[in-house]
């Protein structure tokens, strides 16, 4: 496995809609594993292929099901599956209720903002074995999967902010990049 380089906004690749995956072969399985390793190496909870310069509808996320949008454990709720490999994911339904989460992004390093999204989403995707699955995501998992699917559509979390705030966060992220 390989740790990959993460693109930083305003890299134009981050603004392009990723292409659907036609066939799950060994290269896609390797991409998923490399993305998982990269996500963990960067202390992230999700990573979409465009963030590493690959224009494919592929994402990984690793978030326990029993963590709320503030990162706190929810008592009495089982952790459930937390690692997801998703190919060609699509949101097929969303709740009328909303939740606000402090979001950050590996492509906008060390910048955070409160983002409001549907509290629950239902996602259809293909897993690494080629199986078509549907899953209901709540709490932090819901915010994360929506954030990563946005990446596949060329959208960043800062796009939910005012133009002034968005531009300021991207400039700050660029400064962080130059300090590394």
Q: How many CB atoms lie within 10 A of CB 59?
A: 29
CA distance 134 to 146: 14
Which bin fits 83, alpha (ψ -120 to 50), beta or left (φ > 0)?
beta
List phi, psi (to 5°) of 51: -65, -20
CA distance 30 to 154: 23
CA distance 107 to 166: 13
Distance of CA 158 to the CA centre of its chain: 13
| Catalytic residue flag (residue 148) | yes
Q: Which of 42, 75, 131, 148 is catalytic?
A: 148
- Residues classed as catalytic: 148
């Amino acid at each position: 496995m390989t740790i990959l380089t993460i693109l930083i906004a305003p890299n134009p690749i981050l603004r392009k809609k990723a292409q659907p995956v036609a066939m799950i072969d060994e290269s896609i399985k390797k991409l998923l594993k490399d993305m998982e390793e990269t996500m963990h190496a960067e202390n992230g909870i999700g990573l979409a292929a465009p963030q590493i310069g690959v224009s494919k509808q592929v994402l990984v996320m690793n978030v326990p099901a029993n963590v709320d949008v503030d990162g706190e454990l929810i008592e009495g709720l089982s952790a459930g599956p937390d690692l997801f490999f998703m190919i060609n994911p699509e949101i097929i339904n969303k709740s009328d209720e909303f939740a606000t989460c402090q979001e950050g992004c590996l492509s906008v390093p060390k910048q955070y903002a409160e983002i409001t999204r549907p509290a629950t989403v239902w996602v259809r995707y293909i897993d690494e074995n080629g199986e078509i699955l549907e899953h209901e995501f709540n709490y932090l998992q819901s915010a994360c999967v929506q954030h990563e699917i946005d990446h596949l559509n060329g959208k960043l979390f800062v796009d939910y902010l005012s133009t002034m705030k968005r531009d300021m966060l991207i400039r700050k992220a660029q400064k962080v990049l130059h300090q590394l």
